[in-house]
Each structure stands twice: as C-alpha cells, then as structure tokens.
Structure 1
C-alpha cells in the first residue's frame, strides 16, 4: 500500500470513527478531548459534529491552520503528562477522547500511549469512549464501525 493510500485510509477511519463515537455519546454528559492538534483538521471536524460540547485540545505547540485554532481557554499547551494532570484536577470530565499523539516511530508511539493510558483514564467519565491510532491500556476494547479495519483504528470504553 502506498503512503498516500495509507494516509487516506487513516483519515477516513478517523472521520468515520469520530462520527460513530459522536452518535454513541449523545446521552452521556461530558466534554471532548483531542490529543494531538497538529494542523487542526480533527478538531475542526469535532466542532462540526459536536457543536454543543466543550472541546479540549492538547499539543506541544500551537501550529494549526488559523481556521482551526481552539479558544485559548480550551488549549492545553505542553507535554502530555502535565497537561493531562492539569485537566484531571477537576475530576473526570471527558466523554469522548481522540488520541492522536505520535511522531511516526511505531515502537516509541506505542510506548508513549501505554505510559499515558492511566492519566487518560483519570479524565474519562464512566462509559466514555476513546478512539486511538495507538493501543491504550486499562480500557475495554470494543468494536468500532464496520467500515474501519480492526487494525486501522482502536476503540475503547472507559
């Protein structure tokens, strides 16, 4: 598979997974967390499909497209561990989390996801959903939408 085809497959899985999860959390109270802002495409999509939810965004630096810049009060800038601890100060508040941290070095990205899993769990409300491109630990893995290959994106219940 070419890198272009792989990227298209990943982005389609991301979109389909977020749409599926947004529909599943309709009756669940809580905010949304996008871990890994990057260019802001996922954040922009979350704003569109969940307009009534507060969307927290976390990344090392703010370097997204100007149209996808989160409000300053919802942007947690810095390393993931202290930002998750800061978010956890007020207790569990996240109904849907999207994990998209990584630099593209698989073994390092998997290790970071495992290391951050417990902190991610501390911000999740019971019954909340997590969508991730990396395996997370300490959550119940569930099946996502049928349109997504099982190895492309992972879905978890908090």
Structure 2
C-alpha cells in the first residue's frame, strides 16, 4: 500500500470513528478532549459534529491553521502529564477523547500511550469513549464502526 493510500485510509478511519463516537455519546454528559492538535483538522471536525460540547485541546505548541485555533481557555499547551493532571484536579469529566499523540516512531509512540493511559483514565467519565491510533492500557477495548479495519484505529470504553 502506498503512503498516500495509507494516509487516506487513516484519515477516513479517523473521521468515521469520530462520527460514530459522537453518535454514541449523544445522550451522555461530559466534555470532549482532543489530544494532539497538530494542524487542527480533527479539532475542526469535532467542533462541527459536536457544536454544543466543550472541546479541550492539548498539544505542546499551537501551530495549527488559523481557522482551527481553539479558544484560549480550552487550549492546554505543554506536556501531556501536567495538562491531564490539571483537567483531573479541576474536576472535568470527558465523555469522548481522541488520542493522536506521536512522533512517528512506533515503539516510542506505543510506550508514551501506555505511560499516559492512567492519567487519561483519571479524566474519563465512566462509560466514556476513547478513539486512538495507538494502543491504550487499562480500558475496555470495544468494536468501532464496521467501516474501519480493526488494526487501523482502536476504540475503548472507560
């Protein structure tokens, strides 16, 4: 598979997974958390499909497209650990989290996801959904939409 085809497959899975998850949490309270703003495409999609939810966004630096900048009060800039601890300390509960941290080195990305999983668990509300490109630990793995290959994106319930 070409890198272009692989990227298209990943982005389609991401979109389909987010749409599926948004429908799943429709009757549940809680905020949304996008871990890894990047250029802002996922955040932009989340605010379109979940316009009435508070969407927290976390990244080391703000370097997204100007049209995708989150409100200052919803952007958590810095390393993930203190930002997740802040959300937990302030009592925020997340109904839907999207995990998209990574540097592109699989072993390092998997290790980081495992290391952050307990902190992510602290902010998730019971029954909340997580969507991730990396394996997370300590959550119930569930089946996402049929349109997504099981190895392409991972789905969890808190």
Q: Aligned pairs, how many?
A: 158
- 1:144–1:155 Cα contact (<8 Å) kept: yes
- Alignment partner, residue 94 of structure 1: 94
Structure 2 unaligned runs (5+)? none
The offset of 1:143, in angstroms, is 0.1
CA-CA distance at 1:85 after TM superposition:
0.5
Aligned position for 1:82 = 82
Cα deviation 1:87-130 (Å, max 9, x = unaligned): 11123510000000001000000000000000000000001000
Match of 1:113 in 2: 113
Q: CA RMSD in A?
A: 0.6
Q: What per-residue deviation string (whole Å, max 9, x for no partner) do you get for residues 56-110 of structure 1?
A: 0000000000000000000000000111001111235100000000010000000
Q: Give 1:64's aligned residue.
A: 64
What's 1:3 paired with?
3
State TM-score, norm by structure 2.
0.99
Contact 1:92 1:122 in 2 (8 A): no
Q: Runs of 4 or more off by more than 6 Å in structure 1?
A: none
Q: Gaps spanning 5+ residues in structure 1: where?
A: none
TM (norm. structure 1) is: 0.99
Distance in 2, matches of 1:59 and 1:87, equals 14
